[in-house]
Amino acid sequence: MSQTTKGPRPYLNPYLGGTLLGIVLFLSFYVTGGGLGASAAISRVQTGLLDLVAPAHVDRVAYFASQAGGDRSAWLHYSIYMAVGTLLGGFVSGLFNRRVKLEVRRGPRVSVAARLLLALLGGAIMGYGARLARGCTSGQALSGGATLSVGSWAFAFAVFAGGYAVAYFFRKLWT
């Protein structure tokens, strides 16, 4: 494809993109025995940072202690390596397709400030839910879905159900 414009290249056909994703997911299972994920890394970065400022608190709260209690390190964990890879892979792909650009993507009727605030809020809700569900969309729905875990399928449908249930009330954000 000859590209003369400097704009971002179009995204890949979703079915092709999904196939790529499926192959990566399969290879992950084939090589490591486990699937893909992102929220564990977020959790570990958070615990790791908390461990820097309040190590005693980390040791006292069971959930944090399981990741970084005592002389355990929150950082030396496969999920962190994978997250660094995800950042790199996304960046390289974005660079190649001319999509690396400091910007804010938002719905047509939303101000930048509101979008950023809502991203922060949505992220917090998402982070909380992801830990409660023991995994995010990638770690549960994608990885558990591919290995036919009953809980992961229930989870995946719950995410869509939750989204559709409230989508109407937030329509001004996106349409």
Contacts (CB under 8 A) with another protein, residues 112-131: 115-131
Q: How would you class 156 by CB atoms within 10 Å of its CB: exposed for 0-12, middle for 13-18, buried for 19 or more? A: middle
Taking each helix axis as running N to C, give the angle between helix 39-53 and helix 78-96, from 0 to 180 degrees, rounded to the nearest 10.
120
75 binds another protein (CB under 8 A): no
Q: How would you class 40 by CB atoms within 10 Å of its CB: exposed for 0-12, middle for 13-18, buried for 19 or more? A: buried
Q: What are phi and psi of 169, to 5 degrees?
A: -75, -20
Euclidean distance between CA atoms 165 and 138, whole angstroms? 21
Contacts (CB under 8 A) with another protein, residues 93-112: 93-94, 97, 99-107
Given 51, 69, 74, 136, the residue binding another protein (CB under 8 A): 136
Q: In the complex with another protein, which residue's Cβ is closer, 4 or 175?
A: 175
30 binds another protein (CB under 8 A): yes
Q: How many positions of this chain bind another protein (CB under 8 A)?
A: 125
Q: In the complex with another protein, which residue's Cβ is closer, 52 or 87?
A: 87
Contacts (CB under 8 A) with another protein, residues 144-163: 144-163
> Which amino acid appears at position 100 of this protein?
V
Q: Structure tokens of 129? A: 């839910």
Contacts (CB under 8 A) with another protein, residues 5-24: 11-12, 14-15, 17-24
52 binds another protein (CB under 8 A): no
